[in-house]
Structure 1
Amino acid sequence: MHEIILKLSETTFAALSSVAKAEDVSIGQVIRDAINRDLSRREKAKTPVRADERLVAPLRALLADDFAYARDWDDLMHRLRKKGYRLAEAGGGLILQNHASGQRLCKGSELGYSYTQLLRKFDAPFPGHAHNALLNRIRYETSSSPAHDMR
């Protein structure tokens, strides 16, 4: 074991003493247990779900024209469906799924098209998406930007 020197306020020391006495252990043990719990929690903390780039790169190439040339959400969904894919809401964004199985393949942003970018492009929220207020914010930012005033 390594030994460290730890400075604590009187209040913290009194609280640790009380816990240690109630649990019939040393203050050091209370601190070690707390550190171990925190490290364990951090290890189990939710990590961002990222798709394997070896899967995403071919999908990005396959679907690039569909995202680039779609006129609206219906057109994009039709184009993706023809290739066996679909978009679905996930949190504040979109994910690409296998159309038949519903298996999650990657985030829309990993394909190069975030939900915000598609909102701007289509000027409409994804059908049924819970985050519709985002479009109003985008419209406000666009209308209040200096570039907008020069048109």
Structure 2
Amino acid sequence: MDTVTFHLGPDTVATLRHLAGEEDTSVDQIVRDAIKKDLYRRSRAKTAQRADERRVAPLRALLADDLTYATGWDDLQARLQRKGYHLREAGGGVSLYDAHGARVCKGSDLGYSYSRLMRRFKAPFPGHSHRYLFHKEMPSARE
């Protein structure tokens, strides 16, 4: 192992010593573990998938009426499916997929963010795991 020297404030050092005592380990082991975890997290971070504007612009035009006039999530899905697309949950939002299941773009790339659609439909996307986002957007709808 290489030796690395860096400076920490007295409060941080005191906290590290306290943790080391509780965990029956050394301060340097806690620091090594913390750095290792952070490096792993950073290496696993998803890169932003930027939509290809040449592909998204025609889709915006093709799907504009469907996205504008849909009366709810089921209606929107039915409209999109007639044109060979569908929405799926994607992180904290929704993404558009083609009939083969390939991701095309985020809903926001089409000009309709998940929060905008939730507010309009007064409901979260069916089965979306991040229900707290709906309650954040629609505080009066708390369960």
Query: Structure 1: any 5+ residue segments left out of the alignment?
Result: 1-6, 11-37, 143-151
Report whether the alignment pairs 1:134 with 2:101: no
1:7-86 matches, within 5 Å, as 9=7, 46-86=46-86
What's the TM-score, normalizing by structure 1?
0.63
The structural deviation recorded for 1:137 is: 1.6
Structure 2 length as normaliser, TM-score? 0.66
Following TM superposition, the consecutive aligned residue runs of length 4 or more in structure 1 with deviations greater than 6 angstroms are 41-44
Give the 5 Å matches for 1:117-132.
117-132=116-131
Tell me how far apart the structure 2 counterparts of residues 109 and 134 of structure 1 sit (CA, whole Å): 15
**Cα offsets for 1:60-106 (capped at 9, x unmatched):** 1100100000000111000000000000011111110002x100000
CA deviation digits over 1:103-145, x for unaligned, max 9? Answer: 0000001000111000000001111111112111212289xxx
Shift of 1:47: 2.2
Identical pairs, percent? 58
Number of equivalences: 107
**CA distance 1:43–1:65, shift in 2 (3 Å):** same
Q: Which has the larger radius of gyration?
A: 1
Report the aligned-residue RMSD. Answer: 2.6
SS in structure 1 at match of 2:138:
helix
Instruction: Indicate the residue corresponding to 1:91 in structure 2.
Output: 91
| SS, match of residue 49 in structure 1 | coil
Q: Unmatched 5+ residue regions in structure 2?
A: 9-38
Amino acid paired to 1:114: S
- By how many angstroms is 1:51 displaced? 1.2
